[in-house]
Structure 1
Amino acid sequence: MAPDSPSRILFRTWSYSSAGTNSRRGFRSGDRNCRVIDDFELAEHFENHSNLNNRTPTCLISTTDDPVRALRYAINLQAQGEDDNDVHISIIRSNRYVRGENFATLFDPENERLFKTEFLFFWEIKPTEILHVVSLDTLVGNGLLNRFKVLDPEYWVGGTLPLLWTVRNEICRNNEEAWSRGDRSTWPERSGRYVAAIAKCFGNGAPHRAIASLTWHHGTHFKPNNYENWGLDLRVRDAIQEVLDRNGNSRWYDQWCGELASV
């Protein structure tokens, strides 16, 4: 059965050069002096954490519930010179996070929308909260860029990934084209199988249904008219489940946390 307290499936993309202490066994923030901090100091930590050029250690550790964002960042790290084997995505199951947009509402309201899919941890992410770790090398070897072509830098003019919103818009355009030009009667099933295939690139032991559901939720940004009224959302969900059941990849936490994609 599912636990009493709500948890989320979250993703942290990292390499050994990332801020703080990062490993397959968990994460520690750059500022390791665990203490109670007041709102003034917290605002300072959040400001420093939000500055990509900042080198001052903070108490915050970033994660996201958006697999597309996590994957894009991993590929960008590789493009910046990191070895594929040194770039990883850790999948976390926890309820100890704080929503990034809540911090932004207090400390940076003009940029609140930028933190919609960010979830922050104070001081550490514990080993017991790590469900799965996969390297970019494994993801690519399992066919990620063949299945999710918009994440392949060679898909784009210039051979580099554009900004995240541009990637999302292209995914939306492709989904809309699949609806308008393909067989609409099978579109939900094809869509479900598509994101399930992407999720399976994370390898055995990963929470595949949650990954697939969250990829669909954050990646599609296209819904035909009467999407919910016609039950198309349920058919996408059932198609994901069918693929995973067929391969013996369903787990109770996977199924339960996957439902958070619709929250």
Structure 2
Amino acid sequence: MGCFQSVACKPRIKHENIMVCDLSASIDRRPTVIEENSPIVLRYKTPYFKASARIAMPPIPRNETWVVGWIQACTQMEFFNIYGDLGMSSWELPELQEGLVRAISDSDGVSYPWYGNTTETVTLAGPTSKPACFTVSMNDNFYPSVTWAVPVSESNMPLLTRIKRDQSFTTWLVALNMSTQEKVLLQTVKWRMKVDIAVDPSKPLGSRARLTGRVHQDQPKVLTQMEPIPPNALVKPNANDAQVLMWRPKRGPPLVVIPSK
């Protein structure tokens, strides 16, 4: 069976004869898991966002190389760790917050502009005489550490009372002609992850934190229309390198705890 029959291509989308046959995007239907086994930090692990697509690529007539894969950018981030009435630590993306950019690359920091370079991309070198069929997939989740104590203090006293996180992403399925730099957008997905954890620091380690708010995340939205990729979603820095950890006390000036890389 040829590629085009085998993928039963009633194509979802067809661009320049590149066909996207199956596309799935979901967030695992399970709650965020809180880990309280360290006296220094609370850790939490969110469910995974997963995206996968089956592609049918027509023969490449010329001596060209195409890469097909996933590109992701962070479009909004609130990430506060509150320490009672003392203040809060906050991971921030200053350029995004100040509205200087619309999105920041969420690449692995090596494979720009791609999210990663294992299952996330496939490279096809022409000329080829037959169509190619392949799958590209990606997954993403948060697994951070938050100090029980105020991050700028010498003390190890647990004072953390709340963790609030709300982050939005846009993820594109893209075919990129490496020879001409022509980009063919095949699909746009939007998703969001929210975490809300209440902490009672007076309780013993292992029983301080609990999830509040909704247990399950909203499922991703696969857009019916393509959304263009903002230029700086394709280049350095990525979100991990661009983020800054601030301490914002109730009284007194804010402090940079960890600068951007």
> Which protein has the bigger helix share?
1
Pair member with larger Rg: 2
Higher relative contact order (CA 8 A, sep 6+): 2
Q: Report TM bin, short chain.
A: under 0.3
TM-score (norm 2): 0.21
